[in-house]
A and B are shown apart, each in its own frame.
Chain A
Amino acid sequence: MTDTNPTVNSAGYEVPPELRQNVAITTLDKIWNMGRRYSVWPMMFGLACCAIEMICTAASRYDLARFGMEVMRPSPRQSDLMIVSGTVTKKMIPQIVRLYNQMPEPKYVLAMGACASGGGPFKEGYNVVSGVDQYVPVDVYVPGCPPTPQALLHGLMKLQEKIDSESITQVRWYGKEDIPAIPVPLLGPDLIDPRDNELIKQETSKKPAAPAAAPAAPAPAAEAAS
């Protein structure tokens, strides 16, 4: 390691010239982040069309290995990053939440493409979840339908930046409290988010003016607000 490595030797201490070949002074955060940013292992997990572009990103031409990210793990237990690459459906979201819960911290989620970010072209569909962020927290959104490999690479670089900005003392997963798992949605008459249970009960017990399925009558006030 040479003394010109800016990511390490910049802790504000002068290293005598004769030691520069052998000694590096840095902060724990920096070395910790550097280790993590160059070995983000994504989960081998594809949902839809975007997954094809994700595979292309990992393959010969775009070569994800340059970022130390080519090691795609089929098991959530060994992966750091979940690339949600495609349309999230109601039938699939319980599995996605389960996989997310199974990933060890530190863990990141990248929503790839319009579908994963907000429903995309299929948003209105009865089996489509409008964005994975309704259930799991997302770190980076990559727009596109599908995002080109370049766009995905850009998203991954943004993730690296995010990792760089973290401090070991502040990240949420080294705190005292346990981070509760996200409750897994159920497949009932429609998708049931257990966090919504009270609200669902409240809504379904309302005496019907119109069933909940029908769109609310045009509400100009709400329109103006949004």
Chain B
Amino acid sequence: MTEATTAAPVEKSELEKRFPDAVKADARPGYAGFLVDTSKLIEVATALRDEMGYDYLSSVTAVDYYSDAPNAENFIEVVYHFYKSTGGGALELKVQTPRENSTVPSLTPLYAGADFQEREAYDLYGVNFEGHPDQRRILMWEGFAGYPMRKDWKEAYFEEEVKPFKNRWPEGQVYRIEDRNPFNKNNAYPQGFDPTGFKETDDPKLYEVLERAAREYSEDIDTEQVVVNLGPQHPSTHGVFRMAVRLDGETIVALKPVMGYLHRNHEKIGERNTWTMNMPFTDRLDYLSSMSNNFGYALAVEKLMGDKAAPPERAEYIRVIMAELTRISNHLWAIGFLLNDLGAFFTPALYAIVERELILDIFEATTGSRMMCNYFRFGGVARDLPEGVLEKIKSLVTERLPRKIDELDIYLSENELVRSRSEGIGVITPEEAIAFSTAGPVLRASGVPYDVRRADPYSIYDRFKFDVTVRQHGDVYDRYMIRIDEMRQSLQILNQALKDLPGGEIMNGKNPYQVRVPAGESYGRVEGPKGELGFYIVSNGKGNPARYHVRAPSFINLTVLEKMCVGQKVADVVVNLGSIDIVLGEVDR
């Protein structure tokens, strides 16, 4: 498992042989992958995609290597993780660029899925992606001062580089950080800024882009078009998400998602937290499936920590049981609310929520919390299953849930209205699904049998028999059906895991207050309910991560939304969005 994400040695030499002067293996201790010459990046990526089969660009992110020590070598590194859509480990490329005028060629023309991720790196790190078709800020707004993820950028409430802060511990001198700010708020302004008569610049730029996209769609028809903003306060955007839509009559000619309304600076805070402190924060990413988030983060850190954090058998099984229960509860919710979007207002959702509540009861009994479980630890889980819970899970998994899933299936899947509203809507071909780096149910509903649990098995998933579900049409209906299929597969996994659950320890050693993580980088990924959830972390051997990045499936799946919607009726927008199943906590982080 530990080697899974490092590339097989064959490719290593192959790539290096192919580009002897542009590619060299990353020799820093604890690092893997290849350093690529910035000017050759496009060429290398093209070869990777077209000749070596690395057609899936999973994650793009930037890392700021910065130290204010004199003569420190400061630069920004952009990190790419490529996979084959047929399965296997990652190929990791890195390009380095100076911190001033950082420029890297954009991979969006090659891998459409890089679009939002590059915009994010531009927004937060100020890396300029040359050739990006629409480089705007994505999480913050146009006009925001500075690139907040850079190590030398400090927020208004900045206290100290790392936690725990002194004002809480150990001297116990408590003060409120607000009192140290002249505005009593989390705000700071550049020198000489005058707010009188200030005009916002975010929206005008958005509408410009929207118009450009509309013109690309149809040059010649000169009909009157209107712009409609769905959200950020809209009952069917599943949170605070906004879509700026340009309509010709009822037909969508251009759509731009606008996000960041829930950008909570997860990564910036995560790099200040200690390793263990981040665990409860991951709960709040995709708050409908906190256990999967825990899982991904635990895997990434355990990979760096090596054997001393290998979870014991019982913990592995408990992890799988919890992760699969999470998947079921997430899919129940997703289906309920997709039906809501389809117009079956709240009745199916209420039925789905009943079942979800039963699963939450199990979580509450085990972890103490319904939603924010904070249950995984590096090297195990926080507590053992309390008395009686195992029986509850068993009866739920063997008796209640299968019937309830069948019930949903019987009542909904053949329903005339559901079918006519969802069949043939928002079709994504397999090629598009891969190019746009979609993940999870969206990818599999388009006929690509890619599931991290099978393609690059982690934990103990290689021990279970289950099918990777696939559907062929790539429309909303298939994205609904695949969730029903997946719940059934999860039940199958649960049945096996419950049967084999061994006794014994639940933690490797004692649960420490602080963990020591050796220097290096690691990328841990799990198949979350929304898709591939990855954590890219860099450690410099200190008590907190030097870089902590979340490859958020909901966020990247949204890249394909415009493609899904353009040319269709405005009423289908909410349905398409519902079928992707986003959670804003994860989209905006």
Contact = CB atoms under 8 A, between A and B. Distances in A.
Given A87-B262, A122-B265, A46 B350 contact: no
Contact of A188 (B143, B180, B260): B143
Q: Which 7 A-B pairs have the closest CB atoms?
A: A125-B265, A189-B145, A49-B287, A213-B188, A126-B155, A122-B264, A74-B235
B175 A92 contact: no
A51 B200 contact: no
Interface stretch (A14-22, A26-34, A153-161, A192-200): A192-200
A188 B202 CA distance: 9
A165 interface: no
B281 A56 contact: no
A48 B287 contact: yes
Nearest to A214: B154
Nearest to B149: A126
Contacts of B155: 124-126, 213
A216 B180 contact: yes
Interface in A111-155: 119, 121-130, 134, 145-146, 148
Interface stretch (B190-198, B295-303, B419-427, B459-467): B190-198
Interface of A: 44-49, 51-53, 55-56, 59-61, 74, 86-87, 89-92, 95, 99, 119, 121-130, 134, 145-146, 148, 186-194, 196-197, 199-201, 203-205, 208, 211-216, 219, 222-223, 226
B537 interface: no
A190 B155 CA distance: 10
Contact of A92 (B185, B232, B353): B232
Interface of B: 139-141, 143-145, 148, 154-159, 173-180, 182-196, 198, 200, 202, 232-235, 239-240, 260-266, 268-269, 272, 280-281, 284, 287-288, 349-351, 353-354, 357, 370-372, 584-585
6 contacts: A48-B240, A61-B357, A121-B284, A124-B159, A130-B157, A187-B144
A126 B265 contact: yes
B200 A126 contact: no
Contacts of B159: 124, 215
Interface secondary structure of B, over-half rule = loop
B196 A187 contact: no
A200 B263 contact: no
B263 A189 contact: no
Given A52-B287, A222-B179, A212 B261 contact: no
A188 B264 contact: no
Contact of A127 (B180, B182, B263, B371): B263
Nearest to A123: B157
A99 B144 CA distance: 23
A192 B198 contact: yes
Contact of B182 (A59, A124, A203): A203
Contacts of A125: 155, 186, 264-265, 268-269
Contacts of A191: 185, 187
Nearest to A220: B173
A197 B139 CA distance: 25
A26 to B, nearest CB: 36
Contacts of A91: 140-141, 260-261, 263
A226 B350 contact: no
B281 A127 contact: no
A146 B195 contact: no
A40 to B, nearest CB: 18
Nearest to A203: B182
B240 A92 contact: yes
Contacts of A193: 183, 185, 187
B195 A130 contact: no
Contacts of A197: 195-196
B191 A49 contact: no
Given A121-B280, A196-B183, A187 B239 contact: no
B141 to A, nearest CB: 5
B355 to A, nearest CB: 10
Contacts of B350: 59-60
A189 B147 CA distance: 11
Nearest to A188: B198
Given A49-B372, A126-B156, A215-B159, 16 more contacts: A48-B264, A48-B284, A48-B585, A49-B585, A59-B353, A60-B351, A89-B261, A92-B232, A119-B186, A190-B145, A190-B189, A192-B198, A193-B187, A204-B189, A204-B190, A215-B158
Given A49-B585, A89-B263, A145-B372, A128 B186 contact: yes
B571 to A, nearest CB: 16
A55 B180 CA distance: 37
B233 A99 contact: yes
Contacts of A199: 182-183
A46 B234 CA distance: 9
Contacts of A87: 262, 264
A211 B200 contact: no
B258 to A, nearest CB: 9
Given A129-B185, A134-B185, A197-B196, A190 B144 contact: yes
A187 B202 contact: yes
A123 B185 CA distance: 11
Contacts of A60: 350-351, 353-354, 357
Contacts of A194: 195
Interface centre among B159, B189, B190, B284 (most CB of A within 10 A): B189
Contact of B180 (A90, A200, A219): A219
Nearest to B146: A189
Given A49-B284, A122-B265, A56 B232 contact: no
A95 B357 CA distance: 32
A95 B585 contact: no
B191 A211 contact: yes
Interface centre among A45, A92, A134, A216 (most CB of B within 10 A): A92
B240 A56 contact: no
A222 B182 CA distance: 13
Nearest to A217: B180
B261 A92 contact: yes
Contacts of A211: 188, 190-191
B397 to A, nearest CB: 20
Given A60-B357, A127-B140, A48 B584 contact: yes
Contacts of A61: 353-354, 357
Contacts of B158: 124, 213-215
B582 to A, nearest CB: 13
Contacts of A203: 182-183, 189
A124 B177 CA distance: 9
B268 A92 contact: no
B267 to A, nearest CB: 10
Contact of B143 (A134, A187, A212): A187
A199 B188 CA distance: 12
Interface centre among A146, A200, A216 (most CB of B within 10 A): A200
Contacts of B371: 49, 52-53, 146
Contacts of B281: 121
A128 B264 contact: yes
Contact of B288 (A52, A192, A214): A52
Contacts of A189: 143-145, 189-190, 193
B186 A126 contact: yes
A127 B264 contact: yes
B239 A46 contact: yes
Contact of B156 (A190, A205, A219): A190
B176 A226 contact: yes
